[in-house]
Structure 1
Amino acid sequence: MGTPRLLLVHAHPDDESLWTGGLTARHVDSGGEADLVMCTWAEGTVRHRELTDAVGILGMPRPPIMLGYADDRRPESAPDTERLCAAPFDDQVRALTKHIRELQPDIVVTYDALGIYGHPDHVHAHRLAVAAVDAAASHKLYHRAGPAWRVRSLYFATIPEWMMDLLAPSLFPEIPREKLPGTPDSDIDLVVDVADLADRKKAAVVAHRSEATRSRAIAGFLALPDEIQDKLLSVECYQRRDLVPGGCELV
């Protein structure tokens, strides 16, 4: 088997750069195919335009696929459209199943079951990706969405405990550490060193200009000392779930 084809499923513009930007850039640089499905924000909005800039920096060969649902906390993200977490789940699974069958990825990458840190849109995107991967492999579901396609492995982006230990004092000083997320090393299946791509990954994050201005978390991250930013941007961590014997190696 040659270089696997990736499909990334994210909830919000900027997540693709923060959590999987290094992996994406390395994969594309090595000649691999990768596509991105973004669950929230509609085409033509400011964050869609910023997302397009960001994926260009990461080297993705095609524009992001926008499902067009509203961000849980930003109704202007998709005017007159339902929130991601409120829309009919079956309709969402059908839509994502169609993309999976058309693109035929070997690997689907999304968030872990906690949505990395518990954001409801992240959790929903995880559930949607898992359900659609299962549906895409079934010959009995969604016949109009194309011929069945079996994804070989799912990879779930997660935040390790050591990374949260670095972030907590500056970004979440009011929250007791034991109440913050963080995955122990023993539960992480893959650690990807992307130190050589940290500057490019940061440029993709910064391309989300409106969010860097609005979001306390993004602004706080960008205000951290350079050496801490570099350490955080240089590593990406994943959990793995194989769907066929042997699965598929991500890197």
Structure 2
Amino acid sequence: MFVHAHPDDESLWTGGTIARASRRGGEVSLVTCTWDRGTTRHGELLDAADELGLAREPIMLGYADSFVPESAPGATSFVLAPFDEQVTALVAHIRELRPHILVTYDAFGMYGHPDHIHANRLTCAAADAAAIGAYHPELGDPWQPSSLYFITIPEATVTALRPHLKEDSHLPLTGTPNERIDLALDIGDCLGHKIRAILAHKTEISRSASMKDFGALPRDPQQLFLRWESYLRRDLVPGGADLA
């Protein structure tokens, strides 16, 4: 189960991992915390999910993007909504789908985005709560995920990108020391699916300064950024579960 803050994050940060797992017959589910059904970006998310081979429609928690209130008209901002309410909602999906692995951002949200940081905290809390039988037993039998995987960016990638970025670039300028990376996946065999999934998010591509900065990168650093997906791993049971 991949838990992402916004539409497009699933493709940009984990598109190759999702596509590969789907191609290999894995049961892959996606939770998107912000934006609501019926919005333009929800439609784009469905197109991207189809390109990545997801058999199950993305689960929308329906909160508002912290910086885009119209993402879910009338809904509370993702970072301001009651945390227990959010944990309960995610636990319900974990107990229903019973994933062995939960994937979300690292504790810094990779580059400090508040919605990414909040998704990390929510996923960690729900992973623990889902396994406790006394926690909302009406949500179903308890389920213990085996491992958490946190999306991160290696320092080596940041170093390779930095010379090609403007001083005011919105792309991330911090990274995780390479020796701390637990899993670095070369998703070259799924790169086409990943790129087409990213391109399905037309609204974000036309709006986002980060996307514009990324599109302006020379081919080699851009390919480096796209081709490798890196994770920190935390096992919740002895032995855990392998993402790849």
Q: How far apart are the structure 1 equivalents of 2:118 and 2:186?
A: 28
Q: Does residue 191 in structure 1 map to residue 184 in structure 2?
A: yes
Equivalent residues in 2 for 1:32-111, closer than 5 Å? 32-111=26-105
Show the counterpart of 1:3.
none
Per-residue deviation, residues 125-180 of structure 1 (Å, max 9, x unmatched): 000000001000001101121110000000001011122223334445247xxx93
Deviation at 1:85, TM superposition (A): 0.3
TM-score (norm 2): 0.96
Runs of 5+ consecutive residues of structure 1 not aligned to the other structure = 1-6
Q: Does residue 224 in structure 1 map to residue 217 in structure 2?
A: yes
- Give the letter for the 2:215 counterpart: L
Deviation at 1:14, TM superposition (A): 0.7
- Give the letter for the 1:9 counterpart: V
Q: How far apart are the structure 2 equivalents of 1:87 and 1:209?
A: 28
Equivalent residues in 2 for 1:1-251, closer than 5 Å? 7-174=1-168, 180-251=173-244
- Deviation beyond 4 Å, 4+ runs, structure 1: none
- Give the letter for the 2:126 counterpart: A
Q: How far apart are the structure 2 equivalents of 1:167 and 1:83?
A: 32
Deviation at 1:83, TM superposition (A): 0.2
> What percent identity do the matched residue pairs reach?
54
Asked whether the equivalents of residues 6 and 34 of structure 2 are also in contact (C-alpha less than 8 Å), the reply is yes
Show the counterpart of 1:4.
none
Asked whether the equivalents of residues 85 and 120 of structure 1 are also in contact (C-alpha less than 8 Å), the reply is yes
Per-residue deviation, residues 50-75 of structure 1 (Å, max 9, x unmatched): 01100110101111000000000000
Per-residue deviation, residues 219-243 of structure 1 (Å, max 9, x unmatched): 2212222232222111000000000
- Give the letter for the 1:201 counterpart: K
Q: How far apart are the structure 1 equivalents of 2:8 and 2:175?
A: 20
Asked whether the equivalents of residues 5 and 115 of structure 2 are also in contact (C-alpha less than 8 Å), the reply is yes
Per-residue deviation, residues 179-200 of structure 1 (Å, max 9, x unmatched): 9320011111001110122222
Q: How far apart are the structure 2 equivalents of 1:224 and 1:199?
A: 18
CA RMSD of aligned residues (A): 1.5
Q: How far apart are the structure 2 equivalents of 1:87 and 1:77?
A: 15
Runs of 5+ consecutive residues of structure 2 not aligned to the other structure = none
- Give the letter for the 1:114 counterpart: F
**Range with bigger deviation, 45-54 or 214-223:** 214-223
